[in-house]
Structure 1
């Protein structure tokens, strides 16, 4: 009886530790896409964000050089040598320098979670990394996860992040004054990986106003040091 009790106890321990091992493995699999997203995020922002205040407006009289086929480049280049244009350009450079030196925080809004994939991502991933012979039957789709703003890092020192859900009212920052400068609203899809977890693809959207935004498909891969890098960014839509 004692031997049977000892045997059953040993069997219980084996099952217990085996179950814990499976659980940890599943947890690692579940969080993999999330971990890669936070690792690659600074480079994602570098690839899609620019301070809108640093985009020069059209110079005076610019549109008079437009015709049915576009801009009259010869006439515009000649006008750029005028005193009027030179004065405008000097004033713009001063304004640009002032913006670059100020400490105003620029906010980008984020969804609370990432929970969808793009329909064409599988085809695009296989095609983009065609030399890797990726099989459509062995891809790994990231799980849904809630975004933790404290984990979002950026190489842009002025950039901060805020949840879309934190904006009161309809959240349309381009027609509401929230007391902070909001430059754009971001959106992302879950990452789709190949079975070796060395190549992946996701989508991003960047919207500054109803008719001012664009989307991109971002291909990522591990470099020779095992770090995730952006391989290429391709436009998918624009408004």
Structure 2
């Protein structure tokens, strides 16, 4: 497999000969207002430009996976530029109907036994924060990829570390795990995605897996920098298992 971080949680995943686009957040820098009730209210989103031309991202896509419909995972630009005939997977029927209303013609809800072009796709659970934040932030999901010619890949999505993430790891034994690890947060309630301690929990649950940390420094409410996560990983002695890509960077795994 080859995984390229575009920006935030937007990934291009080439897996078993198919090109997947994950959580497309494709607007030009600064198009959207800052997320409210959070830091850096003087900074508009996204904070960075796309690192590659948008046509390189959307050309020859076999399928799009949208883990949930928050703006930084499914934005107006994505709705405009993606071909309406592309295969598109969502987490539930509510999201599917909203995507269909934007004109997309081939929308399917991910299940625990979805198969796409010989690739097994398993929807996984997530919690977008802790305590009262779970209800406030709404439903989210992740996905596990499996194919006999590839390593098992787990894209955790917008979730903190909690029991279901641990259960997914123990059930599927992924060799590669992508975590959204920017510790993005509101002014009250704590992180709504993984922070550095959560990433360490993932490592402890599966010490031999390669972990890729994304969703960092791309929207105004980020709370954990790449530099800080790399430093923490060195202190905890798991740098060899952690990738912290810059925007546009790709890895073959």
TM-score, normalising length: structure 2: 0.22
**Structure with the greater alpha carbon radius of gyration:** 1
TM-score, normalised on structure 1?
0.23
Structure number having the greater helix percentage: 1
